[in-house]
Structure 1
Amino acid sequence: MATNNTVFLLFCWISFAVAWSPRLLSPRRDNTNTSLPNEYSYETFYLDQQVDHFGFNNGDTFKQRYLIASQFWNHHGGPIFFYTGNEGDITWFCNNTGFMWDIAPEFRALLVFAEHRYYGSSIPYGSQAFKDPSKLNYLTSEQALADFAVLIRYLKSSIPGTSDSPVVAFGGSYGGMLSAWMRMKYPSAVIGALAASAPIWDFTGLTKCTALMDTITKSFMKASPPCVDNIRQSWTTIDKIAATAEGRNFIYNTFHLCSPLKTADDVGNFKAWLANAWFDLAMVNYPYPANFLEPLPAWPVKAVCAPLGSPLQDKLLMQGLYEAVNIYFNYTGQAKCLNTSQDATASLGDAGWGYQACTEMVMPSCADSSSMFEPTTWNFTSFSNSCFSSYKIRPRQDWVSTQYGGKDIEAPTNIIFSNGLLDPWSAGGVLNSLSDTLIAIQIPDGAHHLDLRAANKDDTAYVKAARTQEKNIIRLWLSSQ
Structure 2
Amino acid sequence: MKLLLLVLVLEFLSSAWTYQYKTKYITLPVDHFSFTNNHSFKLKYLVNDTFWNHDGGPIFFYTGNEGPIETFAENTGFMWEIAPEFSALLVFAEHRYYGASLPYGNKSLSDLQYLGYLSSQQALADYVDLISHLKMGLSGAAHSAVIAFGGSYGGMLSAWFRMKYPYVVDGSIASSAPIWQFSGLTPCNVFARIVTSDFTMESEECSKSVRKSWGEIDSIAKSAAGKQWLSETLKLCQPLQTSVDVQSLKDWLREVYTDLAMVDYPYAANFLKPLPGHPISVVCRSLANSSASGKMLLKMLSKGLNVYFNYTGKEKCVNLSNVNGAVGSDAWDFQSCTEMVMPMCNDGVEDMFEPAKWDLSTFSDECYKKWKVRPQPDLAIKEYGGKRISTASNIVFSNGLLDPWAGGGVLLNVSETAVAVLIPEGAHHLDLRASDRADPPAVRLARDFHRRSIRRWCSERLFLSSLAPPHARG
Q: TM-score, normalising length from structure 1?
A: 0.91
Q: What's the offset of the Cα at 1:72?
A: 0.7
| Structure 1 match to 2:437 | 457
1:51 aligns with 2:30: yes
1:291 aligns with 2:276: no
Residue 62 of structure 1 aligns to a residue whose secondary structure is: strand
| Structure 2 match to 1:117 | 96
**1:7-18 equivalences in 2 (<5 Å):** none
Q: Which amino acid is 1:195 matched to?
A: A
**Alpha-carbon distance in 2 for matches of 1:74, 1:38:** 22
1:256 aligns with 2:262: no
**Alpha-carbon distance in 2 for matches of 1:420, 1:453:** 12
**1:264-303 equivalences in 2 (<5 Å):** 264-303=243-282
Q: What's the offset of the Cα at 1:351?
A: 2.3
Q: Which amino acid is 2:231 matched to?
A: Y
Q: Which amino acid is 1:297 matched to?
A: P
1:170 aligns with 2:149: yes
1:339 aligns with 2:322: no
Q: What's the offset of the Cα at 1:41?
A: 1.5
Q: What's the offset of the Cα at 1:38?
A: 8.6
1:423 aligns with 2:397: no
With over 3 angstroms needed to count, the CA separation of the structure-2 counterparts of 1:201 and 1:38, relative to structure 1, is closer
* Match 1:403 to one of 383, 400, 425: 383
The answer for unaligned runs of 5 or more in structure 1 is 1-35
- Who wins on radius of gyration, i.e. which is larger? 2
Q: Which amino acid is 1:76 matched to?
A: D
Structure 1 stretches of at least 4 aligned residues deviating more than 4 Å after TM superposition: 36-39
Q: What's the offset of the Cα at 1:243?
A: 1.4
* Match 2:287 to one of 292, 299, 308: 308
1:367 aligns with 2:346: yes
| Structure 2 match to 1:467 | 447
Q: Which amino acid is 2:38 matched to?
A: G
Q: What's the offset of the Cα at 1:393?
A: 0.9
**1:11-90 equivalences in 2 (<5 Å):** 40-90=19-69
| Conservation of the 8 A alpha-carbon contact between 1:83 and 1:114 | yes
* Match 1:238 to one of 212, 217, 220: 217
| Conservation of the 8 A alpha-carbon contact between 1:385 and 1:394 | yes
| Conservation of the 8 A alpha-carbon contact between 1:39 and 1:101 | no
Q: Which amino acid is 2:397 matched to?
A: F
**Alpha-carbon distance in 2 for matches of 1:91, 1:53:** 25
* Match 1:328 to one of 299, 305, 308: 308
* Match 1:94 to one of 52, 68, 73: 73
**Alpha-carbon distance in 2 for matches of 1:346, 1:289:** 18
Residue 357 of structure 2 aligns to a residue whose secondary structure is: coil
Q: What's the offset of the Cα at 1:480?
A: 2.1
**Alpha-carbon distance in 1 for matches of 2:268, 2:202:** 17
* Match 1:153 to one of 132, 141, 149: 132
| Structure 2 match to 1:206 | 185
| Conservation of the 8 A alpha-carbon contact between 2:391 and 2:415 | no
With over 3 angstroms needed to count, the CA separation of the structure-2 counterparts of 1:349 and 1:284, relative to structure 1, is closer
**Alpha-carbon distance in 2 for matches of 1:45, 1:333:** 37
Q: Which amino acid is 2:196 matched to?
A: T
**Alpha-carbon distance in 1 for matches of 2:352, 2:142:** 53
1:448 aligns with 2:428: yes
Bigger CA drift: 137-146 or 312-321? 312-321
| Conservation of the 8 A alpha-carbon contact between 2:66 and 2:328 | no
Residue 351 of structure 1 aligns to a residue whose secondary structure is: helix
Cα displacement string for residues 141-193 of structure 1 (whole angstroms, at most 9, x for unaligned residues): 00000000111111101100000001000000000000000001000000110
* Match 1:224 to one of 192, 197, 203: 203
Residue 168 of structure 1 aligns to a residue whose secondary structure is: strand
Bigger CA drift: 224-233 or 431-440? 431-440
Q: Identity of counterpart residues, as a percentage?
A: 52
**Alpha-carbon distance in 2 for matches of 1:349, 1:232:** 31
| Conservation of the 8 A alpha-carbon contact between 1:175 and 1:198 | yes
| Conservation of the 8 A alpha-carbon contact between 1:416 and 1:439 | yes
**Alpha-carbon distance in 2 for matches of 1:186, 1:166:** 13
Q: Which amino acid is 2:127 matched to?
A: F
Q: Which amino acid is 2:451 matched to?
A: K
Q: Which amino acid is 1:449 matched to?
A: H
| Conservation of the 8 A alpha-carbon contact between 1:286 and 1:450 | yes
Cα displacement string for residues 116-163 of structure 1 (whole angstroms, at most 9, x for unaligned residues): 111111111112211120111110100000000111111101100000
**Alpha-carbon distance in 2 for matches of 1:386, 1:188:** 40
| Structure 1 match to 2:171 | 192
**Alpha-carbon distance in 1 for matches of 2:327, 2:150:** 22
Residue 47 of structure 1 aligns to a residue whose secondary structure is: strand
Cα displacement string for residues 379-422 of structure 1 (whole angstroms, at most 9, x for unaligned residues): 11111111111111111011110110000011110000001111
Residue 441 of structure 1 aligns to a residue whose secondary structure is: strand
Q: What's the offset of the Cα at 1:339?
A: 2.1
Q: What's the offset of the Cα at 1:51?
A: 0.7
Bigger CA drift: 109-118 or 126-135? 126-135
With over 3 angstroms needed to count, the CA separation of the structure-2 counterparts of 1:457 and 1:421, relative to structure 1, is same
Q: Which amino acid is 1:400 matched to?
A: A
Q: What's the offset of the Cα at 1:349?
A: 5.4
1:380 aligns with 2:365: no
| Conservation of the 8 A alpha-carbon contact between 1:85 and 1:114 | yes
